[in-house]
């Protein structure tokens, strides 16, 4: 499905962020990308939808070589790649609804979007998605009135309304508290399962990666140094990715993490039947 070959990026400043990354993501799976700051995680994700232009190598999504596309075709290809950002990156002065509908910009003409006259099907889908994340009553609120967790859920809706094949997720929990972080990660994982989506998630928090990802790729100095299941993330592997450190506290949690995924997540229920739990969702901010 997604194939990355020899991807390299050298910034004009001379910094080499990626040195020949090869990665194959065959089908729907949630893949976590971990590694120290400056390892090139953010660059790798942005090279996939070419928000950052790679210097060398190729990215192929469902048979389309993204790295070979012209501007027009690139825009077309970006529609199928939803992106969720660190610090949410919502347009602060637009309403929640406008932010969600902005995910449809690649599908509608300029004047239509300028007049905010989106096709009814898009509006229906937007309300459906907002209801799914428990925010449909917030549609006309301005994005800057929302709390962090709420904003990130709007960000998720904006990515999903694109009807993507691939979700690129850049540090989704970086500015959220531990509880909200887990809820957001769980929501992303559930939505990926519902829609048979592939997600590549950049994440600093190794434990969250272990809990919610099916596959973990470790990046160091722009190279893949680990690629495997979360269970194999041993102290030696973490040392290889991050460098020497006492990893016992992180490792010990692996077993507990497995339990956590096994237990029926209360929030799935909360998210499914939205009305009675709306206050709870609002309170989760």
Partner 1 sequence: MTVAAPTSRHWSKPPLIRRAWLRWALGLGAVVYLALALGTTEINWTRVWEGVPRGARFFAAFFPPNFTSRAGDIADGILESLWMTVVATAIGIAISIPVGIGAAKNIAPGAVYYFCRGILAVSRSFQEIILAIFFVKLFGFGPFAGVVTLSFATIGFYGKLLAEDIEDMDPSQAEAVRATGAGWLQWINYGVQPQVMPRVIGLGLYRFDINFRESAVVGIVGAGGIGATLDTAFNRYEFDSAAAILLVIIAIVMLVEYSSGYIRRWVR
Residues near partner 1 (CB under 8 A) are 49, 51, 75-79, 81, 83, 85-87, 89-94, 98, 102-107, 110, 113-114, 155, 158, 162, 168
Helix, strand, coil abundance in the chain, percent, nearest 5: 45, 20, 35
Choice between 136 and 170, CB closer to partner 1: 170
CB of 169 to partner 1, least distance (A): 12
CB of 182 to partner 1, least distance (A): 23
Q: Which residue in 7, 38, 78 sits closest to 221, CA to CA?
A: 38
CB of 66 to partner 1, least distance (A): 12
Choice between 65 and 92, CB closer to partner 1: 92
DSSP string, 164-178: -SEEEEE-TTTTS-H
Choice between 37 and 273, CB closer to partner 1: 37
Longest CA span, the chain: 57
Nearest-5° angle of CA 131, CA 132, CA 133?
90
Choice between 169 and 217, CB closer to partner 1: 169
Choice between 51 and 282, CB closer to partner 1: 51
Q: How far is CA 153 from CA 17, 220, 249, 285, in A?
A: 30, 30, 30, 10
CB of 93 to partner 1, least distance (A): 4
Task: Report the alpha-carbon distance of residue 204 to residue 30 in Å, rounded.
Answer: 15
CB of 80 to partner 1, least distance (A): 8
Q: Which residue in 107, 103, 117 sits closest to 167, CA to CA?
A: 103
Measured distance between the N- and C-terminal CA atoms of the chain, rounded to whole angstroms: 35
The two structure tokens encoding residue 138: 């917030």
Choice between 93 and 196, CB closer to partner 1: 93
CB of 160 to partner 1, least distance (A): 11
């Amino acid at each position: 499905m997604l194939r990355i070959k020899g991807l390299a990026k050298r910034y004009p400043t001379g910094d080499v962020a990626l040195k020949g990354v090869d990665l194959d993501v065959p089908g729907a799976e949630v893949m976590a990308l971990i590694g120290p700051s400056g390892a090139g995680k953010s660059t790798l994700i942005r090279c996939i939808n070419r928000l950052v232009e790679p210097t060398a190598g190729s990215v192929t999504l469902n048979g389309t070589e993204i790295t070979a596309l012209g501007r027009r075709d690139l825009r077309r290809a970006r529609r199928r790649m939803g992106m969720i950002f660190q610090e949410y990156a919502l347009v602060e002065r637009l309403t929640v609804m406008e932010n969600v509908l902005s995910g449809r910009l690649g599908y509608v003409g300029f004047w239509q979007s300028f007049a905010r006259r989106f096709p009814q099907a898009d509006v229906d889908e937007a309300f459906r998605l907002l209801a799914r994340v428990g925010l449909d009553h917030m549609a006309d609120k301005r994005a800057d009135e929302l709390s962090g967790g709420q904003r990130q859920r709007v960000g998720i809706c904006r990515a999903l309304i694109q009807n993507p094949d691939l979700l690129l997720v850049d540090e989704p929990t970086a500015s959220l508290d531990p509880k909200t972080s887990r809820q957001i990660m769980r929501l992303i994982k559930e939505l990926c399962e519902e829609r048979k989506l592939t997600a590549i998630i950049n994440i600093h928090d190794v434990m969250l990666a272990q809990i919610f990802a099916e596959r973990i790729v470790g990046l160091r100095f722009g190279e893949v140094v680990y690629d495997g299941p979360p269970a194999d993330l041993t102290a030696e592997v973490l040392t290889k990715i991050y460098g020497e450190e006492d990893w016992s506290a992180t490792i010990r949690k692996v077993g507990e993490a497995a339990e956590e995924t096994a237990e029926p997540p209360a929030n799935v229920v909360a998210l499914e039947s939205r009305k009675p739990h709306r206050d709870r969702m609002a309170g989760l901010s």
